[in-house]
Structure 1
Amino acid sequence: MSLQLDTPLGIEHRRARQREEARRAILDATELLLIESGGFDFSIRSLSKRCGYSAPTVYHYFGDKDGLVDALLEERVARLADAIERVPVTGEPLADLRAVLRVFVGFGAEHPTFDRLMWTVSSKGESRTTPAMERLTARVRPPLVALAESGRLEGADVETAGQMIWALLHGLSALRVIEPHHPWAPNLGERALDTLLRGMTQPGADGGRR
């Protein structure tokens, strides 16, 4: 059944689509400016020129520059969470953990603004967070708990192991932000991740770590 656009429901549907199109255009333009400027040193005025929407419209949807960056970060983290949630759960905790973390590493390498968004702070000097982060934790923590309960974590509890993993991931992210043009070794992220996982776990029942 087609939606009649001149009915109240049709009008609201059209307005909702227009709002989403405006948000999408503004966020896409923000990402382009991030890539071009190498940071957040751009004005709402320049963003307005790039996206085709007035500065008041940008402020209406996002409040201020912090709100704009928060919205872009939430969208990118949600996209990462979507990719991670598509990773099959095999029931072998180390394999499941490695598969999820490899998606994280690959996502940062494929999306040049993601690392910078992860590292930016608000105008008040506060670290940014996003509700979608909880979805990432929901896929990383269970295999760590399973490894700990089976006695396969080497000299670390779940919290310490989690901190070791995030330290590695954020370290890789920082390298890409600080030295984006450095000739980093091929598959550096995956190789560093595999080395960490080998060092912090004991072999499974089959005697292997892979």
Structure 2
Amino acid sequence: MTRTEAREKIVETAARLLREQGAAAVTVRAVAQAAGLQAPALYRFFEDKDALLDAVAEHVFTSYVAGKSDTAGTGDPVADLRAGWDAHIGFGLANPAVFGLLVVPGRVSPAAEAGLAVLRGRIHRVAAAGRLRVPEPRAAELVH
């Protein structure tokens, strides 16, 4: 197993534990055991549990945002914005432990930035259709 494959296995195992049992279940020992590794092996990839949780949140959210980016619009920018909102709320409800990791004040991950870019694009399409009553940056801020 390559270093990249081992890291992916650790992150996916931790994501599964997080999804199934919550953040308290994601300990270095539990993740290592579930991944078939010795606990010290995880420290070759992650400084501590928080770094592992950050990697898990980034992994899950990156997959989610990639799916949002690929979604074709309906032609109605307001309906698309509404669908994006519903999808985001659905993601949070389906992944409460991961969502909790992502909404930590001051934490801005690459996946979160990509998600904001999708939101800004949808807001821009609403503005281009003449259906926005506030400046685009303010609308994006309000929706976010």
TM-score, length-scaled by structure 1: 0.57
Structure 1: unaligned runs, 5 residues or longer: 1-14, 121-125, 167-210
Shift of 1:133: 2.0
1:118 aligns with 2:102: yes
User: In the alignment, what sits opposite 1:52?
Assistant: 36
The amino acid that maps onto 2:84 is V
Contact kept in structure 1, 2:19 and 2:98, CA below 8 Å: no
Q: Map residues 176-187 of structure 1 onto 2, 5 A cutoff.
A: none
Q: Which moved more, 1:137-146 or 1:71-80?
A: 137-146
Give structure 1 regions of 4+ aligned residues with deviation exceeding 4 angstroms: none
Report the Cα distance in structure 2 between the residues aligned to 1:118 and 1:161, rounded to whole angstroms: 21
SS state at 1:132 partner = helix
Shift of 1:91: 4.5
SS state at 1:73 partner = helix
Report the Cα distance in structure 1 between the residues aligned to 2:19 and 2:80, rounded to whole angstroms: 33
Choose 1 or 2 for highest CA Rg: 1
- Which structure dedicates a bigger proportion of its chain to helix? 2
SS state at 2:23 partner = coil
Change (3 A) 1:119 1:39: farther
The amino acid that maps onto 1:128 is R
Report the Cα distance in structure 2 between the residues aligned to 1:98 and 1:55, rounded to whole angstroms: 44
User: In the alignment, what sits opposite 1:161?
Assistant: 139
Shift of 1:36: 5.9
1:142 aligns with 2:121: yes
SS state at 1:141 partner = helix
TM-score, length-scaled by structure 2: 0.77
The amino acid that maps onto 1:31 is A
Residues matched between the structures, number: 144
Identical-pair percentage: 32
User: In the alignment, what sits opposite 1:186?
Assistant: none
1:89 aligns with 2:68: no
Report the Cα distance in structure 2 between the residues aligned to 1:114 and 1:131, rounded to whole angstroms: 15
Residue of 71, 86, 98 corresponding to 2:82: 98
Contact kept in structure 2, 1:87 and 1:100, CA below 8 Å: no
Structure 2: unaligned runs, 5 residues or longer: none
